Each structure stands twice: as structure tokens, then as C-alpha cells.
Structure 1
Amino acid sequence: MDLQQMRYVVALAETRNFTRAAERCSVVQSSLSHRIAGLERELGVKLFARSSRRVELTSAGAAFLAGARDCLAAADRAAADAAAAAGVVRGRLAVGVIVTTAAVDVPELLQRYRALHPDVRVLLRAGGSDELAAAIRDGELDVAFLGLPEGSRPSGVETLVLDHDEHVLVVPAGHRLAGASRVTLKQVADETFVDFVTGTPARAQSDQAFTAAGLARDVAYEAGVAELITRLIARGLGIALLPSAFIGPLAADDPALSLVPVADGPRRIEYLAWSRFNPSPAARALLTVLGVKAPSTRGNLSGPPK
């Protein structure tokens, strides 16, 4: 058994298609099929159930897949550590980003990072703050840019506060409140709202503000993408509370939207988060680009994981 066979198994498990798996691994399909079949003979078990139309993991294959992924991750990390010891940063950098990230221009950051470390391959993943923090704890992400309600803080990861922000009311240009100098939550509680999906940190910021004010509201539309929220607002389907640093530049170029300050609106904190334990060379290099003092040895930064 070798690492290449494990890579083929992982690729086939994820694509469920021999052709796509071979393309991902940059080999001919017959070679990939032959190597996987050889591995199955060596192990004495079938890793995949095959038909003319379907490829699925067997129970033995599912058990093998978890260990194979761990082995590949360890091998990749060993190669990256060896290169880093020689002064070269290689490997993969997995970065999580919330859809309303505003404290850091992520494309500009990655442009500077690539100029310094062109051998690193970057994976970007969008999601909610809780989901991305959990992915860091599970080793699926190296770093992430998060946004949480004021008073909340990511757990089990190292963090750096990037910015404090407050929400503004986003209304259609023809709305009765467009152009108002300031409003309160009570003044808008009877309006129809557009917001993020229930249970996400992005939604919690507004929910907590209305709860603290003793108010209820009607959220008629939920969306996971900020762009869709603003398009619904522009059509007159509702109003929303969104972080000012994020929505300000977008609304400046959109005459269909108007922004109104909110006296008692939600406030959020944007964080940079990274692994407590043993950041990879690629992750440490990104932290350095961001001006964060990154650890140079294995271990955590501030005591045992919580």
C-alpha cells in the first residue's frame, strides 16, 4: 500500500466517478482502476461497490477512507514542515470566510501572500462563523475570518479582534424611512424584514438586538447570501439590518438602496481565528502577512485547548 493508492481512493470516494477521479489525480482511468483493484486485493476487502452507473463506498471502504485521509494529511504536513525548515513555505492553506467579511480585503491579502509564497495552494470556504470556527477546531481549516455579536467570542481557537462595527438599516430607495437621519428598533419593528437564516451568527446579531429591546419582528424572507438579501430589498420586499462596513461600499453604487443609522441596532466584532494547536507553515506564513506573531514550534499558543 502506498500514498498514491490512498489518494486514488479518496478521489474516487469524493467524486463517485472513475473518470472524474482520474482527472483529479492526473492519471488515465485504467491506471487508477488498476491501482484501486490492486489495493482491494492486498487488503482482502472491497472498498467500492461498482455498477455501470454507480460507484459507492462499502462499509469497509468508509472505514478505510477516514484513515487514508489522516495518513495523507500527515504526509502532506510532513512535507510542508520539511520545506519550511529549509525556508520554503509549501502545502495547502484552507481559509474560511463569512459572506460579510469587511475588516480585511481577502483577495488583496491573498495577492500579497501569493507574492511571498507562490508554492502554496489556497482553498477558500464560505460559511457561518460557528461552522468555520468548528472547522478550524476539527483541522479542516487553517484560519478564518468571523463575525459575531458583541459579547460573543469564538471558542477553542486563537483569535485576534480585527474590527468593531454596527449595523445600519437597509431600505429600498423609495421607502418612507429612506433619508432619515436615525431610527430606533421600535420604529421599524412592524416592518417586513429580510435576514440571514435562523440559527446562524449573522442572524443572531439582529435577533439578539430585538430581543434585548423587548420587540418582535416579522422576518418574511431568509437567505444565506448577502447579495440576495440586498436584491430582495431593492425589489421592495422588505428591509434589513446589515453591518455598515460591509454594506456601505455596496450601497454607494446601488441607487435602489438607502442606508439609515440605527440608534440601538446590533453591533458585531470581526475576528481572525486560527488553530490553537500546531498551525501549519502555510498558516503561520499568513498570520505573519497579517502582522500576527505566529508560533514557530509545535504546540498551542495559550495553554491547553478549551
Structure 2
Amino acid sequence: MNLRQIEFVVAVAEEQSFTRAAQRCHTVQSSLSHQVAKLEEEIGASLFERSSRHVRLTPAGQAFLRQAYIALEATRRIPEEVATASGQIRGRLSLGMISALGTIDMVDLITRFHRQHPQVEVHLSQSGSEELLNRIKEARLDVALIGLWPGDPVPDGNHLFLCEERLIAVLPPKHPMAGDKRLTLEKLATLPLVDYPRESSARRQTDKAFAAAGIAPQISFEVNHLDLIARFVAQGLAASLVPESVASGLRGVAQLSIRDAPKRVLYAVWAKSPTPATAAFIDLLRMDLAG
């Protein structure tokens, strides 16, 4: 087994295609397929279910992929650790964040980090908290900024408390309830609502809030981005619950405090053994929080 074979397996798993994996790895498909088959023979297990239309991981392939990410990450870190021993921070920093992150200016944070460490290649992606945590666990991400419901367990590994904030209601500006000074979850639940998909952590936060109050809300629209939530509200099609720091940046909506307002907790999480670039980024984040 060699690293190139491991890279081939990861590429096939992520692309779900031998053809696209070969293009990604800058090799011909026959060579990639041969190396994957050779690896499967060596470990005595099939890693993929192959058909004319689909390529899927077998249970053995899923187990292999988890360890493959760890092995590739360990290899990537060798030159970074050597550079650190020489007084330099270089390499790659992979960041992930939820879309509704009003309390942290990630662009400004990355800009200042880049000025301090210009030899670090920074990458950023957005996703839901669960997906980001999975990427941290699989060593595909260095740092993730996530949101949790108060009381939810903080994932294993390193974490940093960022803040706790209320969710507030956003309504169409001309809605009869837009001037309600005593809006409650019960009143809000009588309106059509727009929210994140059911499987997302953001949606679970609002679902738990309504459930704790014994209320069944009307979720009419499920979308995966804050901008879409704001557009549905501004057009008078629905109301929503959003974090207070995020609501301040939305245009064309009325913002109302809720008497029984739910809250969310934001954390930065990273692997148990951080890279030098990760440690430097967390130091910068800690300095920001300290004021």
C-alpha cells in the first residue's frame, strides 16, 4: 500500500466515479482502476460496489476511507511541523463555518491571519454544524465554527466558547404582528414559517424551542441559506426565527424580540492534535474574544 493508492481511493469515494477521480488525480482511468484493484487484493476486501451507473463504498470501503483521511492528513502535516521547528508557520488551513454567523467577521479574521502568516494557504467552506463536525472527525477540516442548542454536548476534542445569543423573530414589515411588543412562540407558530432543512442543527434548535413550549409550528418552506430565508420573509410569504446578530444584517424585514426567546451557543472546534496553522488561528480568535 502506498499514499498514491490511498489518494486514488479517496478520489473515487468523493467523486463517486472512476473517470472523474482519474481526471482529478491527473492520471488515466486504467491506471487508477488497476491501482485500486491492486490495493483491494492486498487488503483482501472490496472497497467499492461497481455498476454501469454507480460507484459506492462498501462497508469495508467506508472503514478504509475514515483511516485514509487520517493518513493523508498526517502526511500533509510533516513539512508543516518541520517548518514550525525552524520558526515558520506554513502549509494549509482548512476552515468551515455555518452560514448564520453574525457575531464573527470571518473575512476580516482570515485577512488578519493571512497578513500574519502569508505562507499559509487558507480555504473556507460553509455547511451545517453536523457536516462540519464530521469533517473535523475525519481530518478533512482544521477548524469549524458551529452552533448548538444550549445543553447539547460539546463534541470531543478542542473547543472554544464564542458566545450565546437569542433567536428573534423576523416578519414581513407590513404584517399585523410586526408591531407586537409581546410576541411569543405561540403567536409566531400561527404563521407560515421558513426554516432550514429538518436534518440541520439550526432547524433542530428551533424545533426544540417550539417543542419545549408544546407548540407545533407550520414550516411551509425549507431552505438552506439565510439569504433565502430573508427573501421569503421580505416578500410576505413567511416569518422566521434567526439569531439576533444575524437579524441585524437583514434588509426588508421587521425584527421582533420574543418573550420566551430560545438561544443558541456558538463554538469553535478543532482536532485534538492541531496543526501549527490551526493553533495560530485559534490564538488569533482568542485574542479577538478577549477584546
State the TM-score, normalized to the length of structure 2: 0.80
Pairing 1:129-278 to 2, within 5 Å after superposition: 129-251=129-251, 255=252, 257-275=253-271, 277-278=272-273
In the alignment, does 2:283 pair up with 1:283? no
In the alignment, does 2:126 pair up with 1:126? yes
Q: Describe the superposition over 1:146-167 as per-residue Cα deviations: whole angstroms up to 9, x where unpaired.
A: 1122333422132222122111
Structure 2 Cα separation of the partners of residues 148 and 66 of structure 1: 25
Q: Which amino acid aligns with 1:264?
A: D
- Is residue 168–residue 242 contact of structure 2 (8 Å, CA) maintained in 1? yes
Structure 2 Cα separation of the partners of residues 153 and 16 of structure 1: 33
Q: Which amino acid aligns with 1:284?
A: A
- Is residue 5–residue 36 contact of structure 1 (8 Å, CA) maintained in 2? no
Once the two structures are TM-superposed, the CA of residue 211 in structure 1 deviates from its matched residue by 2.4
Residue ranges of structure 2 left out of the alignment (5+ in a row): none
Which of structures 1 and 2 has the bigger CA Rg? 1
DSSP 3-state at the match of 1:290: helix
Match of 1:115 in 2: 115
Q: Describe the superposition over 1:95-137 as per-residue Cα deviations: whole angstroms up to 9, x where unpaired.
A: 2211111221111111111122223233323222233234323
Instruction: Give the 3 Å change call, closer, same or farther, for CA 201–99 of structure 1 in structure 2.
Output: same
DSSP 3-state at the match of 2:178: coil
Structure 2 Cα separation of the partners of residues 202 and 49 of structure 1: 34
Which moves more between the two structures, 14-23 or 156-165? 14-23
Structure 2 Cα separation of the partners of residues 94 and 64 of structure 1: 22
Q: Which amino acid aligns with 2:183?
A: V
DSSP 3-state at the match of 2:103: coil
Match of 1:298 in 2: none
Match of 1:302 in 2: none
Q: Describe the superposition over 1:178-210 as per-residue Cα deviations: whole angstroms up to 9, x where unpaired.
A: 233341223323111111222432122222222
Structure 2 Cα separation of the partners of residues 7 and 148 of structure 1: 33
Once the two structures are TM-superposed, the CA of residue 36 in structure 1 deviates from its matched residue by 6.9
Once the two structures are TM-superposed, the CA of residue 4 in structure 1 deviates from its matched residue by 4.6
- Is residue 183–residue 256 contact of structure 2 (8 Å, CA) maintained in 1? yes
Once the two structures are TM-superposed, the CA of residue 229 in structure 1 deviates from its matched residue by 1.5
Identity of aligned residues (%): 35
Instruction: Give the 3 Å change call, closer, same or farther, for CA 173–65 of structure 1 in structure 2.
Output: closer
- Is residue 16–residue 54 contact of structure 1 (8 Å, CA) maintained in 2? no
Residue ranges of structure 1 left out of the alignment (5+ in a row): 293-306
Q: Which amino acid aligns with 1:99?
A: S
Q: Which amino acid aligns with 1:226?
A: L
Count of aligned residue pairs for this structure pair: 284
Structure 1 Cα separation of the partners of residues 277 and 24 of structure 2: 23
CA-atom RMSD in angstroms: 3.4
Match of 1:72 in 2: 72
